[in-house]
Amino acid sequence: MNIDTKRRTLVNAAGALALSSVAILALSKPKERVIKIIAKKFEYVPSEIRVKQGETVMLQFTAPEVPMGFSLPDFAVRADIMPGKVTTLRLTPDKTGSFAFLCDVFCGTGHEDMNGILIVS
């Protein structure tokens, strides 16, 4: 075996090792938890969401009736929720406690009472 063949073999082996390491890391990464939330007149279902600090979750919203909003001021996130569409919001809470969320798009006479709580432990 000449020096070029040895070098190629070494480079190919290193590349294969790097690719297998990336594949193992990708497979071992935990899936994000999906939390489905329905925004309907005049409530969120569920109205209480529990997550852990540092846990990344995907909030998936649907609105069966009219356009709604979602605002979680303590984490500076918000979303518009349109009927017939799924709105997805990724959230990774960086602090613990209880945090109110609310509808910030006027949706009718019960709008003021449309809220919920995010509990981060």
- Summarize pLDDT for 57-106 with one digit per residue, the tens: 999 999 999 999 999 999 999 999 999 999 999 999 999 999 999 999 99
* DSSP H or E stretch at residue 40: strand 33-40
| pTM (predicted TM-score) | 0.74
Name the residue with higher pLDDT: 7 or 56.
Answer: 56
CA 50 to chain centre: 13
Reported as a pLDDT band with limits 50, 70 and 90, residue 36 is: very high
pLDDT given at position 118? 98
- Contact of 19 with 90, CB cutoff 8 Å: no
* pLDDT score at 10: 63
H helix or E strand, kind and range, residue 24: helix 3-28
pLDDT over 70 percentage in the chain: 76
